[in-house]
Chains A and B, each alone.
Chain A
Amino acid sequence: MNGKGFLIVVEGPDGVGRTSVLRDLRLGLEADGLAPALVRLRGSAGLRAPLRDLQRRSDISERALFLLYVADLAAVYREEIAPALAAGRVVLSDRYTLTPVVRAESRGMERSWAAEVLSFLPPPDLTLLLEAPARLRVQRMLARRRFLTPRESGAGATYRRDPQAMLIRYQRQLDALFHDRAQADGVVALDATRDPAALAGEALALVRALRATPVAVQAP
């Protein structure tokens, strides 16, 4: 029990039909003579707009984004859920703690870590997890909207447990791809680990040598 009321959560990924289930739950409880409060996690007063902006950006770590989601959820709990529970109402919440944990896990964070971060929020009295195959869900999502957002399409999920290892691997791959071109005509590879003056000196010498042999410059 949360205060005097009950917290009922409907969870599940997009396109699974949470909205219709919540609507029918609300109508059913109203028919029972109750006045359920429907809470959609649209965000707290302070964080709603900034978070929407951050989701579209890529210059933030996935872990930081997760922690901000949790801060937002905590504020929604304080602003919307807790008062309704204190008034003795049944609260129907469109998602709660399960979604942020799953999103965090999909982006390389450990489930146990994410769950512990969320552990300060009171547990719901009941969580209904809706499940449907991804193909069907995506079909439904695309029936409603022309485009999916990059995050819905998995942006950020390429981050593994170790984004820095990826950074190095990627940069090494670039080294190799560039080095392959070093064999091509007209490309001279220079060792750039030397001090900048020596490097510039060699570069200059090469340019001067080129100017001394105009034939090479005129070649098509």
Chain B
Amino acid sequence: MARRRGSREQGLLIAVEGLDGSGKSTQVELLMRHLRLRGVSVHRSNWNSSPTVHPLTRHLKSLRALDPPGFALVHAADFADRYEREILPRLRVGTSVLCDRYVGTALARDGARGLPRDWIANLYAFARPADLTFYFRVPPEVAASRILRGRPAFSFYEAGLDLGLADDPYDSFLRFQTRVAAHYTAIAERQGYVVIDATLPMRSQQRVVRDAVRQLLGEDPR
């Protein structure tokens, strides 16, 4: 992998995936600091954060106007905008990019909303696969309690309330996120994600992350 990177003078593309509340954002932050201290030029791009598209998505979510294809399409639009204007230009000039959620998120969430896998995969076919993807696996109950520690309630779509799985937001969240987790597990298997037990202490998780990145960089393990 490191050789390929050298020959193309491209930055590395590293992604983290997992349910909300899996702790993946913390792990990205730690990895980014680690890489910067080692002199690696690195940038972070978060899911659903295009300055142009995100306000629109937020508006449509507040109207609860998104059916599953609509939900998939606006998130793909946000991703396309960031991929072409934020991620690719950096990779081209040798800056590495850490993506807090990548194509796996769409495959898992839109798949859990019942959209065909091939259609979702095509939607993102323009994006190059990440060089390394971590999946932070956490039981939905744990994710739920971590989320509710930070804010009073689940959001409408995060709880899958658009699908009518349950009237109670908590029940709906568990049912929907259980589906998302099942899709994640299958995708992780298929695409060779590094699966990390996200109930372990933060430091143990970070150690696994750094070891895998070191290998990708073609360095010896410590």
Point out residues on A near B: beta carbons under 8 Å: 44-47, 50, 54, 57, 59-61, 63-65, 67-68, 70-71, 74-75, 78, 109, 113, 116-117, 119-120, 163-164, 167-168
Contact = CB atoms under 8 A, between A and B. Distances in A.
B68 to A, nearest CB: 9
Interface string B16-54: 000000000000000000000000000000000011110
B81 A113 contact: no
Instruction: Across the A-B interface, give the 4 residue pairs with the lowest CB-CB distance, nearest first.
Output: A64-B81, A67-B77, A71-B73, A61-B84
Interface stretch (B57-65, B160-168, B175-183, B208-216): B57-65
Interface stretch (B119-127, B134-142, B150-158, B186-194): B119-127
A117 B123 contact: yes
Interface in B83-138: 83-85, 88-89, 92-93, 115, 119, 122-123, 125-126
A120 B119 contact: yes
12 contacts: A44-B65, A46-B65, A47-B60, A50-B56, A50-B59, A59-B51, A63-B77, A63-B83, A64-B77, A74-B69, A113-B126, A120-B115
Nearest to B71: A71
Given A44-B65, A50-B56, A116-B122, 17 more contacts: A46-B59, A46-B63, A47-B56, A54-B52, A54-B56, A59-B52, A60-B53, A60-B81, A61-B80, A68-B74, A74-B67, A75-B65, A116-B119, A117-B123, A120-B119, A163-B84, A164-B84
Interface residues of B, number: 33
Nearest to B93: A168
A109 B83 CA distance: 14
Given A63-B84, A64-B50, A67-B73, A167 B56 contact: no
Contacts of B50: 60, 64
B89 A68 contact: no
Contact of A64 (B69, B80, B92, B115): B80
B76 interface: yes
Label chain A's interface by main secondary structure. helix
A57 B65 contact: no
A45 B65 contact: yes
B37 to A, nearest CB: 18
A117 B85 contact: no
**Max count, chain A CB within 10 A of own CB: residue among B77, B78, B119:** B77
**Max count, chain B CB within 10 A of own CB: residue among A45, A46, A50, A59:** A46
B70 interface: yes
A187 B81 CA distance: 39
B80 to A, nearest CB: 4
B111 to A, nearest CB: 14
Contacts of B73: 67-68, 70-71, 74, 117
